Structure 1
Amino acid sequence: MNAQNIQLENIQYVYFIGIGGIGMSALARWFAYNQKMVAGYDRTQTPLTQNLENEGIKIHFQDNVDKIPKEIREFPDETLIVITPAVPASHSELLFFQRNGYTIMKRAAVLGLLTHSLKTVAVAGTHGKTTTSTMVAHLLKEGGINCTAFLGGISANFNSNLLVNDINNTDELWAVVEADEFDRSFLHILADIAVVTSTDADHLDIYGEKEELEKSFGNFVSQINDNGTLFAQKNIAESVKNSIDKINENIQLINYNASNNYEDNNDGKTPIYATNIKLDEDQKNSCRFDFIDMTQEIPERINGLQLFMPGFHNVENMCAAIAVARKLGVSDDKIRSAVASFKGVKRRFEYIFRSEKVTYIDDYAHHPTEISALLSSIKHLYPNKKITAIFQPHLFSRTKDFQEEFAQSLSLENENDELILLNIYPARELPIEGITSDIILQQSKTQNKILLPDSELLSYIENKINNNEIEILLTLGAGNIDRFVNSIFDFLSKKTALKF
């Protein structure tokens, strides 16, 4: 079956190579929800793959053709194979499917195929896209908009990375998707409404130069459908914003940002913004802000919104989500209640443990800009507290490209602060000679810093906890650092239990 002419109604079986990926698993859940037999392979078992198995999806963890379900081996014409760009060409199961004429598509192409028949909100950006797309999905759902969503993180409200639409709602169906720039995947998405949160340099192993990354973002926004809208963070590359005028004059470009700086919000170029941002000084887990919309002849505003997800960057993300919701007709009253009921995204400024003396936060931050934004918010929330930050770099290429920026973002200011670095998480990459976590460690200006092998981290942290040396603890990274979270939580809980 030709992938270009595939008819999903003729597909009975869907097999994923790399099913444990956050984007892959959302698609797997969608196909399972739509009564397809779903199975897959992944390299390692994780809590996410366990959840998929609990939902009835068959998964194995050895690259072994014999473990592929027999229905998939026997009915190639009724089977769709979904892969990620990270699957090596030598993968034996992939080779089996190639030799036997199966329809094989990348995840991004399948996502594009699913959304081409739907009205689509696509959220792109080198950082911020997961949180923002999850916010959009939540506001639309709470606002009564008929929508489905494919997310790049686990929504705490949905407890899933997939939101399925209400089958009883006959209104026009909208899809909310996270549009990933890696491997230019987002070029498969044709949006009616797009959000671009950031265009900082990243994935230079794919793009080579920052200008190529910006060019790809320009191509993405130029594909917005006629009469569509782009909500672009104020500081994204001008070359991306200029791409619209060159290709499609029917696209409306609206800039947004979040700032208490009067000049930032009144520069004539930022018609949508959040201001009067006040962090909760008591509970530390929420903030209030005002939303301003200057796109109308008479400016409109929603005052005193409360968001239970701290950080100025998260206010900015919510600002974009509100703009999308209002564009689709969600009332201000429903927006107010939806913002207040948003519970966040797993591993995005996620409070794991809080007591009178100790706070533990886990975050997916893996780019210098994300780390700087997170630490800036932490310092604002806890100005007199000692910070202990544990960071696991993600990818040898990213570490090589941004070693100075990582070192700068991880240069903790106070003499009592501590930086703990773990070894680089390789993901899809082979080692690069001379590139280790130590190159970040040596350049960081943090006075107390150490590089630990993974095997020593838990004992090191447990000792710190038992000796009352932890006040604000952070685990940061996009690799597998999250596997330590439950153990650290147990250490903190045990310590607190013993104390009382």
Structure 2
Amino acid sequence: MQPKKIYFAGAGGIGMAALERYFLSKGYRVAGYDRTETELTRQLAKEGVEITYNDTVEAIPADFRDCPQQVQVVYTPALPSDHPQLSYFRSQGYPVLKRSQVLGLITKGSKSLCFAGTHGKTTTSSMAAHLLNMSPLGCNAFLGGILRNYNSNLLLSATSPYSVVEADEYDRSFHQLTPYIAVINATDPDHLDIYGTEEAYLESFAHFTELIRTDGFLLLHTGLKLKPRPGKGVRTYTFGRNNGDFHAKNIRYSQGSILFDLVTPWNTITDLSPGIPVDINIDNAIAAIAAVLLTGEQITDQTIRQAMSTFKGP
């Protein structure tokens, strides 16, 4: 992306916030519009994003107007297509991209761990990002929630080849990604105002599996209706609470904590304890750890235990 000024139409969205923070870290001038002032937009303003809550063209910073060669516009599909500022940028020939397209461009050259599913993707992607960040590998992470361990939804590393992405099926946004490891937690029908039918919803996930790199992996929760279509060379694994290539055993509950052992295709990692001790985080932890292990990197059992036990949640 050539322009060094970026305008975010819908700047207060959690997914947009991660991109705004990313471009600020790269030295870009960042501005944008949102309808409502929130704690997140106030924090973004403190970090350097110039945010307006007025949707008129005149509210756009003067040096972002009448200069289409100097400004990249990024928008969220949640914004109406006839939004005054978005209409202005399009009529004046500005380059305009969806948030998902920009995220796809940023992560395309990395080894992306992409977490998809009707539910669970924010927690599992946050767990995986925390685990990688606590290891020598590090990662760049674009998360759909503010990770309490870091008070941010963006993690950055200048050296890591890995990115962690929440792969959002809304508006088929995840079709812009190029996963190295694709994780699908659940495919219960959702967003039927967009997809129309359960069959169309499942087809969208099936197409997502076609986008995995030929040297990559697909990690599926057991019991899904989905019929994946990964390409030649992609290796497929399953996970679940009680069965799958990655699954839990010896689950113990004691004094407000949970302990379990994780069975993997290669070994068993004992005494894992989710930092937030609720049942669903057994499944979430299995998905996150499995995705990181599929990278083939040498991460010690102790690092995994420490990451899981210190995870504070999004």
Among candidates 128, 131, 136, match of residue 144 of structure 1: 136
Distance (Å, rounded) in 2 between the aligned partners of 1:54 and 1:129 = 28
Distance (Å, rounded) in 2 between the aligned partners of 1:144 and 1:327 = 16
2:175: which partner in 1? 187
Provide Cα deviations, 1:156-188, integer angstroms capped at 9, x if missing partner: 1111011111x3x4xx52111010000000000
Q: Does 1:277 align with 2:265?
A: no
Which of 1 and 2 has higher RCO (CA within 8 Å, sep 6+)? 2
Among candidates 19, 27, 31, match of residue 19 of structure 2: 27
2:189: which partner in 1? 201
Contact 1:273 1:291 in 2 (8 A): yes
Moved over 6 A (4+): none
1:135 deviates by 0.5
Contact 1:198 1:235 in 2 (8 A): no
Distance (Å, rounded) in 2 between the aligned partners of 1:279 and 1:43 = 45
Distance (Å, rounded) in 2 between the aligned partners of 1:54 and 1:277 = 44
Contact 1:258 1:312 in 2 (8 A): no
Among candidates 37, 54, 58, match of residue 62 of structure 1: 54
Q: CA RMSD in A?
A: 1.2
Distance (Å, rounded) in 1 between the aligned partners of 2:206 and 2:73 = 30
1:287: which partner in 2? 258
Among candidates 301, 308, 312, match of residue 332 of structure 1: 301
The letter of the residue matching 2:308 is V
Contact 1:82 1:104 in 2 (8 A): yes
1:90 deviates by 1.8
Report which stretch shifted further, 322-331 or 38-47: 322-331
Q: Does 1:122 align with 2:114?
A: yes
Among candidates 96, 99, 106, match of residue 88 of structure 2: 96
1:255: which partner in 2? 238
Aligned length, in residue pairs: 312
Distance (Å, rounded) in 1 between the aligned partners of 2:80 and 2:232 = 41
Task: Give the 5 Å matches for 1:292-331.
Answer: 292-293=263-264, 295-296=265-266, 300-328=267-295, 329=297, 330-331=299-300
Among candidates 27, 36, 54, match of residue 44 of structure 1: 36
After superposition, the Cα gap between the structure-2 partners of 1:339 and 1:62, relative to the gap in structure 1 and judged at 3 Å, is same
Contact 2:217 2:294 in 1 (8 A): no
Provide Cα deviations, 1:262-289, integer angstroms capped at 9, x if missing partner: xxx3xxxx11112222334x3x3x3211
Contact 1:120 1:174 in 2 (8 A): yes
After superposition, the Cα gap between the structure-2 partners of 1:211 and 1:158, relative to the gap in structure 1 and judged at 3 Å, is same
Distance (Å, rounded) in 1 between the aligned partners of 2:101 and 2:253 = 41
Distance (Å, rounded) in 2 between the aligned partners of 1:209 and 1:275 = 37
* TM-score, with structure 2 as normaliser: 0.96
Distance (Å, rounded) in 2 between the aligned partners of 1:13 and 1:191 = 28
Task: Give the 5 Å matches for 1:168-187.
Answer: 169=159, 172-187=160-175
| Structure 1 residues without counterparts, runs of 5 or longer | 1-7, 260-264, 346-500
Higher helix proportion: 1
The letter of the residue matching 2:235 is Q
Distance (Å, rounded) in 2 between the aligned partners of 1:226 and 1:214 = 22
Greater Rg, structure 1 or structure 2? 1
Distance (Å, rounded) in 1 between the aligned partners of 2:168 and 2:47 = 26
Provide Cα deviations, 1:59-93, integer angstroms capped at 9, x if missing partner: 11111111111121143202110111121122111
The letter of the residue matching 1:225 is R
1:208 deviates by 0.5
1:130 deviates by 0.4
Distance (Å, rounded) in 1 between the aligned partners of 2:226 and 2:206 = 10
1:30 deviates by 0.5
Contact 1:136 1:176 in 2 (8 A): yes
Distance (Å, rounded) in 1 between the aligned partners of 2:208 and 2:21 = 26
Distance (Å, rounded) in 2 between the aligned partners of 1:71 and 1:126 = 41
Give the % identical residues: 42
Provide Cα deviations, 1:79-123, integer angstroms capped at 9, x if missing partner: 110111121122111111011110000000010011111111111
The letter of the residue matching 2:163 is A
| Structure 2 residues without counterparts, runs of 5 or longer | none
